[in-house]
A and B are shown apart, each in its own frame.
Chain A
Amino acid sequence: AQSVTQPDIHITVSEGASLELRCNYSYGATPYLFWYVQSPGQGLQLLLKYFSGDTLVQGIKGFEAEFKRSQSSFNLRKPSVHWSDAAEYFCAVRETGTASKLTFGTGTRLQVTL
């Protein structure tokens, strides 16, 4: 069965600093990978996704993620964090195929200090 690990439960960064959120997955074939962000009391917003092709994926709000097959990782990065980026971030994996179930990681809560 597929699984997702987000090793960091909580991360604090200063505004303007760079950010990297870690995500490792377990899946037998090439997975479909997603990052979602959730602000308090809100739904999940899609940041970016990877299906195939270029392993460096650009998303909204200045985020990017890199798929590394050898490390089974899909880490999320941002070069300069803004206070409004404070939120919960979820990595998710989906089996290849149609309308398959998403498996979420446990999330990383990002705090931004001014």
Chain B
Amino acid sequence: DAMVIQNPRYQVTQFGKPVTLSCSQTLNHNVMYWYQQKSSQAPKLLFHYYDKDFNNEADTPDNFQSRRPNTSFCFLDIRSPGLGDTAMYLCATSSGGVTDTQYFGPGTRLTVL
């Protein structure tokens, strides 16, 4: 089945230790998104790629970076995680067409100690 895959599902890191989260998709979608979701809150868009074009949200901290080496993969890098970065990180993809619909992966739960 076509799907969005996130690895790892759970990640524990120490304060200030860089971490990378991975997302891959078999949907061949043009657009890939990264969201941060804190407990009992709605997902908050961090950035997205339309093909190779990177689009950063205005309020996304500089500490968060992303890479998209090819159509299938997208990475979220947190350069120096703080305690406030403990959250669920969701990857989503969409075709980018007029009836654009986002499909989400299962998420990575990141805990910063």
Please, which residue of chain A has its CB at the minimum distance from the CB of B30? A99
Please, which residue of chain B has its CB at the minimum distance from the CB of A42? B106
Interface contact tally, CB-CB below 8 A:
56
The answer to whether A98 touches B97, judged by C-beta atoms less than 8 angstroms apart, is yes
**Size of interface on B: residues with Cβ below 8 Å to A:** 28
**With A44-B43, A105-B42 in contact, is A98–B109 under 8 Å at CB?**
no
Which A residues lie within 8 Å of B63 (CB)? none
When chains A and B are docked, how far (Å) is the Cα of A36 from the Cα of B96? 19
Which A residues lie within 8 Å of B96 (CB)? 98-99
Whether B94 sits at the interface, judged by CB under 8 Å, is yes
Sample (10) of A-B pairs whose CB atoms are under 8 Å apart:
A43-B4, A43-B90, A44-B92, A46-B103, A51-B99, A94-B100, A97-B98, A98-B98, A99-B96, A104-B42
A residues bordering B, Cβ < 8 Å? 32, 34, 36, 41-46, 49, 51, 90, 94, 96-102, 104-107
B residues bordering A, Cβ < 8 Å? 4, 6, 30-31, 40-43, 45, 48, 50, 88, 90, 92, 94, 96-107, 109
